[in-house]
Amino acid sequence: MRRKLDKIRVLVIGGAGYIGSHTVKLLQEHGARVTILDNFSTGKKFLVQSNDLVEGDLGDSRLTDGLFSKTSYDAVMHFAAFSIVGESVQNPLKYYRNNVGKTAVLIESMLKYGVKRFVFSSTAAVYGEPEVTPITEEHPLRPKNPYGRSKVMVENMLSDVSAAAGMEYVALRYFNAAGADPSASIGESHEPETHLIPIILQAAGGRREVVKLFGTDYPTPDGTCIRDYIHVNDLADAHILALEALLDGKGSDVYNLGCGKGYSVREVIDMARKVTGKEIRVLEEKRREGDPAVLVASSDKIKKDLGWKPDYDNLETIIETAWRWHGKVR
Ligand code: UFG
């Protein structure tokens, strides 16, 4: 049975982003009262789902001290990270400063005001090149880039702060987030766009000439990379469950989030052709640096511990919802 979140107050940092906005919408559907803190560096005004919006930076301790002193928040959810792997290699300090340094400032501010529940957006990039598939949470953490390392650093920081100061956290390691709310009122919107499904749908919608296919010589059945695509609303649902677990005093934990089924880049393109009825031109290119051949999650732990179950368990529905959103020219 789901606990109602009626009197629960949540500060959602990065609530104007892709995954943050879908989670804000669902939190409110569960009755929670949500304040969004977003600096709009990558967030979008048209994704804001709460009337309670504070425009500002998570690293601004005067601002967060003010928020925590004024309102008694039951929990913080933190989505406000930079997340482009290639950019993190070019500009690692941007990632360490924002994703790690500012998160430390935020947690200090939380502790100062006794806010001790934290749901953190982590990533499959913490694992690096997998040794076994599907990947469980016990898999060694060997990130291959500054983005993944920044997320491992925060996970370590949370574990240390949890031991020292009694903070309780859930870190959710997302695999490939995709799709959009079926209402098509919110969806994925990045500039520049680097993710496969939105790029394919831009091509389907005539807003891009061609999809560049990065690498056709991987050790996979069709030579292209295999990923585990998870619908953004199923990710949002996992945040609700994580919050409920923290409210129930279940303690800190770390969970993978994927559907447990891999699709190759070619399979994703073929499925998008089927869903959209468009041709979608493809240009085969060499490999993109740093891409593991196969990334597929075991999400058994969150299913067992928190009762999570994906509602959008197939690629066709995921792409259909994304297409409904991208059809509205963003
Ligand atoms: N791809 C293409 N052409 C494109 C874009 C992507 O062929 O134009 C390929 C990539 O090479 C990769 C697959 O499509 O094989 C998926 O690429 P995405 O960029 O959509 O996603 P990634 O798997 O690279 O990255 C995602 C998240 C990261 C996270 C990572 C975890 O976006 O934030 O999963 O490994 F770090």
Q: Determine the Cα–Cα distance for residues 229 and 269; give it in Å rounded to an integer.
A: 13
User: Does ligand 1 have an atom closer than 6 angstroms to the CB of 274?
Assistant: no
Domain with residue 31: its CATH number is 3.40.50.720
Other Cβ atoms within 10 Å of 291 Cβ, number: 16
Residue 292, domain member (yes or no)? no
Q: Going along the chain, which residue ranges are E strands?
A: 9-13, 33-38, 53-55, 75-78, 117-123, 168-174, 176-178, 211-214, 226-227, 229-231, 253-257, 263-264, 282-285, 294-295
> 197: CA distance to ligand 1 center in Å?
9
User: Does ligand 1 have an atom closer than 6 angstroms to the CB of 216?
Assistant: no
For ligand 1, pick from 88, 176, 218, 257 the residue to mutate: most ligand atoms within 8 Å of CB: 176
Residue 165, domain member (yes or no)? yes
pLDDT in tens, the chain (330 residues): 455 799 899 999 999 999 999 999 999 999 999 999 999 999 999 999 999 999 999 999 999 999 999 999 999 999 999 999 999 999 999 999 999 999 999 999 999 999 999 999 999 999 999 999 999 999 999 999 999 999 999 999 999 999 999 999 999 999 999 999 999 999 999 999 999 999 999 999 999 999 999 999 999 999 999 999 999 999 999 999 999 999 999 999 999 999 999 999 999 999 999 999 999 999 999 999 889 999 999 999 999 999 999 999 899 999 999 999 998 755
pTM: 0.97
| Residue whose CA lies nearest to ligand 1 atom number 5 | 196
Residue 72, domain member (yes or no)? yes
Domain hosting residue 161, numbered range: 9-179+230-257
Residues 6+ apart with CB under 8 A from 209: 203, 281
Active site residues: 147
Tens of pLDDT, residue by residue over 81-114, are: 999 999 999 999 999 999 999 999 999 999 999 9
pLDDT of residue 1: 41
> 179: CA distance to ligand 1 center in Å?
14
Residue 215, domain member (yes or no)? no
pLDDT of residue 3: 54
User: Does ligand 1 have an atom closer than 6 angstroms to the CB of 328?
Assistant: no
Residue 273, domain member (yes or no)? no
Tens of pLDDT, residue by residue over 179-202, are: 999 999 999 999 999 999 999 999
| Residue whose CA lies nearest to ligand 1 atom number 16 | 196
Other Cβ atoms within 10 Å of 82 Cβ, number: 17
For ligand 1, pick from 82, 212, 214 the residue to mutate: most ligand atoms within 8 Å of CB: 214
Contact (Cβ atoms closer than 8 angstroms) between residue 263 and residue 270: no
* Ligand 1 atom closest to Cα of residue 148: 36
Q: How far is CA 96 from the centre of its chain?
A: 18
Q: Determine the Cα–Cα distance for residues 150 and 284; give it in Å rounded to an integer.
A: 31
User: Does ligand 1 have an atom closer than 6 angstroms to the CB of 82?
Assistant: no
Q: Determine the Cα–Cα distance for residues 201 and 211; give it in Å rounded to an integer.
A: 9
Dihedral-angle region of residue 142 (phi above 0 means left; psi in -120 to 50 means alpha; beta otherwise): beta
**Strands 263-264, 226-227: pairing kind:** antiparallel
pLDDT of residue 30: 95
pLDDT of residue 45: 97
Say how many domains are in the chain: 1
| Residue whose CA lies nearest to ligand 1 atom number 33 | 83
Residue 322, domain member (yes or no)? no
Residue 289, domain member (yes or no)? no
